[in-house]
Amino acid sequence: MQPIDKRGSVPFDPFYDPMTARALGPGSDYAPTYWIGTAGPAPEDDGPVTRDIDVDVAIIGSGYTGLSAAIHLAKEHGIKATVLEANGVAYGCSTRNGGQAQISAGRLKRSQWIQRWGLDVARGLHAEMVEAFALFRGLLRDHDIRCEPQDGGHYYIAHKSSVMPALASEAALLRETFGYDARMLTRDELFQTAVRDHEAHGALWEVDGLGVHAAKLAFGYLRVARELGATVHPDSPVQGWELKDGVHHLRTPGGVVRARRVAVATAAYATRGLHRRLRDRLMPIMSNSVVTRVLDASELEAVGIRKLSPLTDTRTLRHYYRLLPDNRLQIGSRAAITGRDAANPAHLAALREGLARKFPALRGIELDYSWWGWVDVSHDMMPRITGVPDAPGLFYALGYGGNGVMYSAMAGRRLAQLVAGQALPDLPIFNTELPHEGWKTPFRRLGQWGLYHLYHYRDERK
C-alpha cells in the first residue's frame, strides 16, 4: 500500500523508531491509514513557527491529549496554549489507532487494580474512568465533533475456553463491587447479537464502548481548540530544549518558543533525546492494522457483525477489530519490534491469518489499507499525568498502553488542571512519574522479543 499524499511534503517514513531515531520531522506525510484516507480535508491550523515567540503554555504534541489539554486550558482556566507538532496535526497515535473508545486506561483490569493498590484506590480509579467517559461523550456532543460515533458497548471476546472463568469473575467484580453494567455472553448469544467470530467461546460485555473515526475525532479537537483561542503549529519539532531562569526555551526550525510552562503529550513518538527526564520511561510498542475492501452481502452475513462498537479478544497480544460504517472490516494487533522490521511481510501475513481464524469467509480478502504505528506502553502498564519535581513548569501525560482514545480526553483535562496549578485526585496515576527503565536499547528489544514469544505461546496454548 503506497502512502497517501495528504500534505504534499516529505514522503511518509515507514521505518521511524522512537528508540533509535535522532529526530522526528518536520514535514513527513501522514501514515497511509484508512482514517486519513477518508477524513476529508483537515481544519486549518496556524502553520509552522516562523519566529521567536514568548508564550504562557506550550504543549508538545497535537494528538488527542495535547489538543484536549489546549481545549480545557481555554475552557476552564482562560489560558490560550501554543501547541507544537513535529509533523502534521495528530500525526502519530491519534490517526493510527483502531478508533476504539473503551472504559479503561492502561493495560490492567479492575482485579489487578485491587491487587496492586487495594479496593478503595481501585474504586477511585473506576470512578475516574466513568467520569472520563462522560467527559468524552460530552465533548463530542457539546462541540459537534462529527467523528461517526457508533455506540453499543465493548465486547471482550474469549479466544479460547480456558479464559472464560477469569472473564466471568471480572464481570461479577464489575457488577458487584463497582456497580457497573457488565455481563457474560455465551458463544451462541454472542453470535446472535454481536459477531460470528469463529474463535469465540463467549464474551464479557461492558455497557460503555464507542467506535469512532480516529482522524475525524482528532480534526474535531483541532477545530475546537483553535475556536477557543489556542494556536496549533505543525512542522515545528522541538529540536533543542533549555531551561533558563525558569523559562523553557524550545528550539524549532522556525524559531525559539519561550514558555513558562510546558506540557508533553507526545505518546510514543518523541525521540529519546527530547528531554532527559522523559528518556526511557516508555516502551514504544508497534501495532499494525488493516482495513479490507467493502464486504459484499454474503461476507457480511458470514461475519455476522451486528454492532459497530469495539471488539477485542483476550490475547495478551490482542486483536482489536470492528466493522466500519462503510462495511469494511478493520483489524489490528501487535507487530514488529523495531522500526526497521516494520515492513516485514511476515507481520502482515500474521495479521491476515488472525483475521481468517476469526472469519474464514474473509481468508485472502483484498485489503484497501495497511499501516502501523507506535503505542506508548508504560513499564507498569498504567498511564501518568504528572509534573516533574526537579524541572519547574514541566508536565506530561503519557502511557495509555493502547487504551487512550477515550481516556486521552480526560488526561488532557487533568493535564490542563496541573498546568493551571490545581490539585488532582489522590490516585496512583496522578502526581507520580512513570517508572524508569534503565536498560540499553538493544537489551530492551531483546527482552521484548523474549516476552512476545512467551505471550504468543500462552495465547495460543489450549
**Parallel, antiparallel, or unpaired for β 240-244 and 82-84?**
unpaired
Find the Cα–Cα–Cα–Cα dihedral 33, 34, 38, 44, rounded to 10°.
-30
pLDDT tens figures, 5-33:
455 557 788 889 998 998 877 788 999 99
**Parallel, antiparallel, or unpaired for β 394-398 and 384-387?**
antiparallel
Sign of dihedral through CA atoms 146, 152, 153, 154? Answer: negative
pLDDT(3) > 90: no
pLDDT tens figures, 297-347:
999 999 999 989 999 999 999 999 999 999 999 999 988 999 999 999 999
Cα–Cα distance, 389 to 399 (Å, whole number): 19
Residues 6+ apart with CB under 8 A from 248: 58, 241, 242, 258, 259, 260, 261, 262, 393, 394
On whether residue 450 sits in a domain, the answer given is no
Instruction: Take residue 462 and report the three cell numbers written for it.
Output: 489450549
How would you label 161-180 residue by residue, b for 16+ Cβ within 10 Å and e otherwise? Answer: eebbeebeebbebbeeebeb
Other CB atoms within 10 A of residue 321 CB: 27
pLDDT tens figures, 146-177:
999 999 999 999 999 999 999 999 999 999 99
pLDDT tens figures, 240-290:
999 999 999 999 999 999 999 999 999 999 999 999 999 999 999 999 999
On whether residue 343 sits in a domain, the answer given is yes
Instruction: Take residue 165 and report the three cell numbers written for it.
Output: 472463568
On whether residue 347 sits in a domain, the answer given is yes
H, E, C per residue of the chain: CCCCCCCCCECCCCCCCCCCCCCCCCCECCCCCHHHHHCCCCCCCCCCCCCCEEEEEEEECCCHHHHHHHHHHHHHHCCCCEEECCCCCCCCHHHCCCCEEECCCCCCCHHHHHHHHCHHHHHHHHHHHHHHHHHHHHHHHHCCCCCCCEECCEEEECCCHHHHHHHHHHHHHHHHCCCCCEEEEEHHHHHHHCCCCCCCCEEEEECCEEECCHHHHHHHHHHHHHHCCCEEECCCCCCEEEEECCEEEEEECCEEEEEEEEEECCCCCCCCCCCCCCCCCEEEEEEEEEEECCCCHHHHHHHCCCCCCCEEECCCCCCEEEECCCCCEEEEEECCCCHHHCCCHHHHHHHHHHHHHHCHHHCCCCEEEEEEEEEEEECCCCCEEEECCCCCCEEEEECCCCCCCCHHHHHHHHHHHHHCCCCCCCCCCECCCCCCCCCCHHHHHHHHHHHHHHHHHHHHCC
**Parallel, antiparallel, or unpaired for β 209-211 and 150-151?**
antiparallel
The CATH number assigned to the domain holding 187 equals 3.30.9.10
Distance of CA 77 to the CA centre of its chain: 26
> What is the pLDDT, as a whole number, of residue 8?
53
On whether residue 416 sits in a domain, the answer given is no
On whether residue 262 sits in a domain, the answer given is no
Domain boundaries, position 157: 149-211+284-375
Instruction: Take residue 45 and report the three cell numbers written for it.
Output: 491550523
pLDDT(406) > 70: yes
On whether residue 304 sits in a domain, the answer given is yes
Find the Cα–Cα–Cα–Cα dihedral 330, 336, 338, 340, rounded to 10°.
-80
Cβ burial of 198 (10 Å; 0-12, 13-18, 19+) is middle
Other CB atoms within 10 A of residue 219 CB: 26
**Parallel, antiparallel, or unpaired for β 320-323 and 329-334?**
antiparallel
Cα–Cα distance, 411 to 153 (Å, whole number): 21
> What is the pLDDT, as a whole number, of residue 456?
85
Cα–Cα distance, 378 to 278 (Å, whole number): 12
> What is the pLDDT, as a whole number, of residue 13?
83
On whether residue 271 sits in a domain, the answer given is no
pLDDT tens figures, 89-144:
999 999 999 999 999 999 999 999 999 999 999 999 999 999 999 999 999 999 99
pLDDT band (50, 70, 90) for residue 461: confident
On whether residue 99 sits in a domain, the answer given is no
* Number of structural domains found in the chain: 1
